């Protein structure tokens, strides 16, 4: 699969993988800062952004997509792969299956464990409720989402996927049908027969429950024995948006 990506900067490679319903544009502010230090490759994962849409959506497929991109761009074995939420699970899958393709792993606010993904039900209902046959503007799309999603910040994040096609009609950039159908696969547990022995950094939001105490004690060190879990206080799941300076500094310190 040919993934859409954006590359900037020089030096040691840093590959950035966004989360569910996101795009590489969600990371452009930090990517620009990191590009002063590293060779930054921001990626649209399959069924997201401007990358290819397919009916299939799994961590095995997404990690293979990223592995192919690493090989194609000749990023070498010194790459840092950073992923948030769903992108963090993609990064974990890649590290466990192909440890030779990267030097270190950074995961933002996600654990390897299973999730039933029920917390996404309202978002899926809202996205699927937008009627593109009659939609005239972004305000109407926001009003449709608001019936299911009360948080304005979440709606604004989702509306970044709304765009006008050449015929002036609206559409979502993500493959909503595939994501809806494959939601159980997005919640799947990441496991492996052999651990990833290279350095790994897990960053969690102090107000988020995506990485719990049992993950810090068991699931993360079992699969990533050379890992450290850092908590950023007073932020939630979107820690890179809420505390960008802290994320920037912690990642830089980790890469060394």
Instruction: Tell me which fold the domain 5-115+188-255 belongs to.
Output: Rossmann fold (3.40.50)
pLDDT tens digit string along 24-82? Answer: 999 999 999 999 999 999 999 999 999 999 999 999 999 999 999 999 999 978 999 99
Q: Is the pLDDT of residue 196 over 90?
A: yes
Pair 239, 203: CB distance under 8 Å: yes
What does the pLDDT read at residue 76? 77
Question: Which of 113, 245, 126, 226 shows the shortest CA–CA distance to 176?
Answer: 126
Cα-flanking dihedrals φ and ψ of residue 7, to 5°? -120, 140
The token pair at 51 is: 């990358």
Band the pLDDT of 232: cuts 50, 70, 90.
very high
Mean pLDDT, all residues of the chain:
97
The length of the chain is: 256
pLDDT band of 16, cuts 50, 70, 90: very high
Check 18, 48, 57, 237 and give the catalytic one.
Answer: 237
For residue 133, what pLDDT band results from cuts at 50, 70 and 90?
very high
The percentage of the chain sitting over the pLDDT mark of 70, rounded to a whole number, equals 100
Q: Is the pLDDT of residue 86 over 80?
A: yes
User: Per-residue pLDDT averaged across 159-168, rounded?
Assistant: 95
Confirm if 5 and 145 have CB atoms less than 8 A apart.
no
Predicted pLDDT at 109: 98
Q: What is the Rg, in whole angstroms, of the alpha carbon atoms belonging to the chain? A: 18
Q: Is 219 a catalytic residue?
A: no
What angle is formed at CA 88 by the lines to CA 161 and CA 186, rounded to 5 degrees? 65
Does the annotation count 85 as an active-site position? yes
Tell me, what's the pLDDT at 150?
96
* Euclidean distance between CA atoms 252 and 201, whole angstroms: 11
What is the structure's pLDDT at 1?
A: 86
Q: Which two tokens stand for residue 255?
A: 């890469």
Q: How confident is the model at residue 230 (pLDDT cuts 50, 70, 90)?
A: very high
The domain segmentation of the chain, as residue ranges, is 5-115+188-255, 118-183
Distances (CA, A) of 153 to 137, 143, 150, 159: 18, 13, 9, 10
Active-site position among 42, 51, 63, 85: 85
């Amino acid at each position: 699969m040919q993934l859409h990506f954006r590359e900037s900067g020089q030096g040691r490679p840093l590959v950035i993988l966004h989360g569910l319903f996101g795009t590489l544009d969600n990371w452009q502010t930090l990517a620009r800062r990191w590009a002063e230090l590293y060779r930054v490759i921001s990626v649209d994962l399959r069924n997201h952004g401007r990358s290819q849409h397919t009916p299939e959506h799994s961590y095995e497929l997404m990690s293979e997509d990223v592995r192919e991109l690493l090989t194609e761009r000749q990023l070498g074995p010194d790459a840092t792969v950073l992923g948030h939420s769903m992108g963090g699970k993609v990064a974990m899958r890649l590290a466990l299956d192909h440890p030779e393709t990267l030097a270190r792993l950074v995961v933002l606010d996600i654990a390897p464990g299973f999730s039933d993904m029920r917390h996404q039900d309202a978002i899926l209902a809202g996205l699927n409720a937008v009627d593109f046959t009659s939609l005239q503007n972004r305000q109407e799309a926001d009003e449709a989402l608001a019936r299911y999603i009360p948080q304005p910040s979440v709606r604004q994040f989702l509306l970044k996927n709304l765009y006008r096609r050449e015929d002036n009609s609206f559409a979502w950039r993500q493959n909503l049908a595939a994501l809806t159908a494959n939601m159980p696969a997005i919640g799947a547990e990441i496991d492996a027969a052999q651990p990833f022995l290279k350095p790994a950094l897990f960053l969690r939001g102090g107000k988020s429950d995506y990485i719990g105490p049992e993950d810090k004690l068991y699931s993360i060190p079992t699969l990533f024995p050379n890992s450290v879990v850092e908590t950023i206080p007073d932020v939630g799941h979107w820690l890179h948006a809420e505390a960008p300076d802290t994320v920037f500094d912690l990642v830089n310190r980790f890469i060394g």
